[in-house]
Amino acid sequence: MPASVLRSERPFEIAEHELASEKATIGAYAAGLVADGDTVLLDVGTTTVAVARALVARADLREVTVVTSGLRVALELERAWPRVSVVVTGGTLRPLQHSLVNPLGTVMLERLNAAIALIGCNGVDVHGGVTNINLPEAEIKRAMLLAARRPIVVADGSKLGEVEVAKVCDLREVSTVVTDASADPAVVADLAAAGCDVQIAG
């Protein structure tokens, strides 16, 4: 996206209806990457809420702990207790996305070593890396990626090839990008050529 084009951030309640089936497909795929006993970092966003719903549907999972900065994610996962324990990061409430951010949003994350992080974003690009539309949540996303042995980005096809204002990380800092069949094949090819493991859900 050209630097002169600025997208305004949409409230969670509006964004969750956009590409809902694609997000559900990604959510199911990403939830399939979680194993019994895993500690999972799951940040805020409509795609990560889809991951949370898919984790609830996985009745086979046991002794999973999910640490989240998203209040909607936490409420979705409550239905899976006691198979899934939920820890909320704490921090300052950001009402637009029902997220918890700095100050104090990263204190807990700095003390964790999780098996896997599943992070949403607004852009994945070969040159721009993983980016987000707002700065406060980008800080939390980066802290989660750094606190996990397997950092994974979940992003529907509309996010690939986009660059937003707040950089989360370089592409090389992510182990896998999970997207869906709506992604532009040329962009997927570019990401793969840059050494990124891109998995197409569905």
Domain positions in the chain are 22-201
pLDDT value of residue 38: 98
Distance of CA 34 to the CA centre of its chain: 14
Which secondary structure element, helix H or strand E, spans residue 39, and what is its range? strand 39-42
| pLDDT 10s digits, 17-67 | 576 889 999 999 999 999 999 999 999 999 999 999 999 999 999 999 999
Which pTM was predicted?
0.91
- In this structure, are residues 22 and 157 in contact, taking their beta carbons and an 8 Å threshold? yes
Please name the residue ranges forming H helices in 38-104.
46-57, 71-77
The 10s digit of each residue's pLDDT in 135-154 is 999 999 999 999 999 999 99
Give residue-wise pLDDT tens across range 102-116: 999 999 999 999 999
**What pLDDT does residue 2 have?**
41
Question: Per-residue pLDDT tens for 62-100?
Answer: 999 999 999 999 999 999 999 999 999 999 999 988 999
**Which fold is adopted by the domain 22-201?**
Rossmann fold (3.40.50)
